[in-house]
Structure 1
């Protein structure tokens, strides 16, 4: 009898343990890499390529077995354990196709060709995600890296403004147009959109159901080459409470039940953004309630710090943007000197699909 009671207690304990979700979340500072477009299982292996830096950890599954044989002991001699409590249905379902995309794009003078590659990669990226999610529900925000309206040097130069698309004479700016980190709806500068983008949402970001999505994205992503960069710092500003909270320029962009995908594009190391890569990584995790598994980071930047780099070689430099990706467990790094960025977006799409399945909304 003692042995039977002990066996029942052990079986109940094992069942309760096996109903946990087994997920491991939190911020990891280990510097490991994952091949582009693939994922790793377990924390004991890592591999490296020049186009994907980051690490993905998943808890190893465990199983418990119990003795299925029956006993002929009379019911009067077996203690009444009552109704076995329901362990529940496990964690809530994943993001169900809800994804918040934050693009932060440098407008340095050398970025014209790189911005064109970004826009050329967008349609296939979104098409891939639409095929993965039956109800793809997206927010897409392109954050303001400059923090000013037009070129300050052109203010008051009405006689020549007509020839300078960098400054839209006769157009009154909206309050959020000159706030760094706010969603861009009127990109200004040489090779920029230089017009108010038509967003069906009436907000400073695109949402699901946007007619002519590719045209709308092209408009907000055509940042031009007005000389602004600092993509990491701008990303931090875009996610701050004063912009994303009630009454802020980006109000409603960041949703608690959506996966956050950050795409940062700059052709230098970004060594002038405020803070450190550790600070930037902590900001992304904090934005999702401390859940690092709710964030995917794609950085496209120079790769000259690596042997055989597409951008040439300057080994040994401190590359803050690369470090940022290594600190995030679900990230992709791509060379900005590649002829196209389709492969990097495909790798990011694979990570988005994987993480959307395990993401437990807070």
Structure 2
């Protein structure tokens, strides 16, 4: 509420209160797919500084801002290329990485630990998957585009938050939750259009200055919203991945899907249940649970030995942990690990390579 009051004050401080009159941006609502559920065998492992629990496609939107809206209100993005087959065998070296990071105000502390992990993420990617044909997408959790607090009619910069340059060229997919982020906005966000060599709303292999590009799309700030599970479901749904849509070309039938979600709460407000979220990921891979690897970094207040402090929550009430345990190839990491999260990503990488070796496209 404090942020909304500050934002409202910022609007009226600019140009005598002349700002955009639209409300929060439009999101695409999709019912969770009804597929069969997957069981999970869980084991416990430890990483430095914390504990983790593991349970063992088309066209992309252009980043030029000249896209027209297609049927259903989803912007048309043209026709994407495919990087082609590369070694090794199994998944033929194709991996689609999706990051869904909460941009809620509660993430301020975790944002610092997350950003300190980016070099480790990219180090693992370049060290373990250098010969792979990968896509990397950061799904939009922020509803700020089109909201009055952006103060679009200001002459220069809007005071207070977010530090957003007025007059920046708007792209239709910027307003869609679940679409790939290319202009993160708000406090602690990149607040600039990310330079992606692909010209699309996700990074492709061969991206120059990969760490800089990834840091840009993944620095989503703290002026947005949470509900990472719900946004992830939107991001993999056919509405955003069909030809001409915002994320089209990101999901490939012959690629392994790796989802990394980061949120400091149990995500009890996301639409659907943990089973619905698991079904959505499996459905996105044609019903093959072995084609999905999930890494969830969240609080562990349901664990007496957790880093965040035990809150007496009984088993089964932490929806993000439940989501992790419903998928056979997953890693659970504590968001309170002050040493960062790169170790969790490295743990997930081992599962990714194993699954890539045995992956059979449906």
Partner of 1:348: 348
State how far apart, in whole Å, the 1-side matches of 2:174 and 2:130 are. 35
Q: CA deviation at 1:170?
A: 1.0
Q: CA deviation at 1:111?
A: 1.4
Alignment of 1:325-340 (within 5 A): 325-339=324-338, 340=340
Secondary structure of 2:257's aligned partner: strand
Secondary structure of 1:354's aligned partner: helix
Q: 1:28 aligns with which of 38, 45, 58?
A: 38
Alignment of 1:63-212 (within 5 A): 93-133=89-129, 135-149=131-145, 151-155=147-151, 158=154, 161-164=157-160, 166=162, 167-212=164-209
State how far apart, in whole Å, the 2-side matches of 1:171 and 1:200 are. 20
State how far apart, in whole Å, the 1-side matches of 2:285 and 2:269 are. 25
Q: CA deviation at 1:159?
A: 6.6
Please list every run of 5 or more consecutive structure 2 residues that lacks an aligned counterpart in the other structure. Answer: 1-35, 57-87
State how far apart, in whole Å, the 2-side matches of 1:131 and 1:214 are. 13
CA gap 1:120/1:236 in 2 versus in 1, 3 angstroms: same
Partner of 1:215: 212
Q: CA deviation at 1:267?
A: 0.1
Q: 2:309 aligns with which of 300, 307, 312?
A: 312
CA gap 1:198/1:160 in 2 versus in 1, 3 angstroms: closer
Q: 1:237 aligns with which of 200, 211, 234?
A: 234
Secondary structure of 2:222's aligned partner: coil
CA contact (8 A) 2:128 2:349 kept: no
- Residue by residue over 1:193-246, the C-alpha shift from the partner in whole angstroms, topping out at 9 and shown as x without a partner, is 110000000000000000000000000011010041100000000011111110
- Residue by residue over 1:49-96, the C-alpha shift from the partner in whole angstroms, topping out at 9 and shown as x without a partner, is 9412313xxxxxxxxxxxxxxxxxxxxxxxxxxxxxxxxxxxx94113
Larger Rg: 1 or 2? 1
CA gap 1:172/1:360 in 2 versus in 1, 3 angstroms: same
Partner of 2:72: none
CA contact (8 A) 2:256 2:291 kept: yes
Q: CA deviation at 1:151?
A: 4.4
Alignment of 1:53-64 (within 5 A): 53-55=54-56
Alignment of 1:261-276 (within 5 A): 261-276=258-273
Q: CA deviation at 1:345?
A: 1.0
CA contact (8 A) 1:104 1:231 kept: yes
Give the TM-score taking structure 2 as reference length.
0.75
State how far apart, in whole Å, the 2-side matches of 1:160 and 1:313 are. 47
Report how many residues are paired: 290
Secondary structure of 1:111's aligned partner: helix
Please list every run of 5 or more consecutive structure 1 residues that lacks an aligned counterpart in the other structure. Answer: 1-25, 39-48, 56-91
Cα RMSD over matched residues? Answer: 2.2
- Residue by residue over 1:175-209, the C-alpha shift from the partner in whole angstroms, topping out at 9 and shown as x without a partner, is 10010000000000011111000000000000000
State how far apart, in whole Å, the 2-side matches of 1:132 and 1:220 are. 21
Q: CA deviation at 1:157?
A: 6.2
State how far apart, in whole Å, the 2-side matches of 1:198 and 1:133 are. 22
Partner of 1:360: 360
State how far apart, in whole Å, the 1-side matches of 2:130 and 2:151 are. 49
- Residue by residue over 1:306-343, the C-alpha shift from the partner in whole angstroms, topping out at 9 and shown as x without a partner, is 10221111122521100000000000000000011122
CA gap 1:28/1:162 in 2 versus in 1, 3 angstroms: closer
Q: CA deviation at 1:152?
A: 2.7
The higher relative CO (CA closer than 8 Å, separation ≥ 6) is in 2
State how far apart, in whole Å, the 1-side matches of 2:276 and 2:264 are. 21
Q: CA deviation at 1:252?
A: 0.1
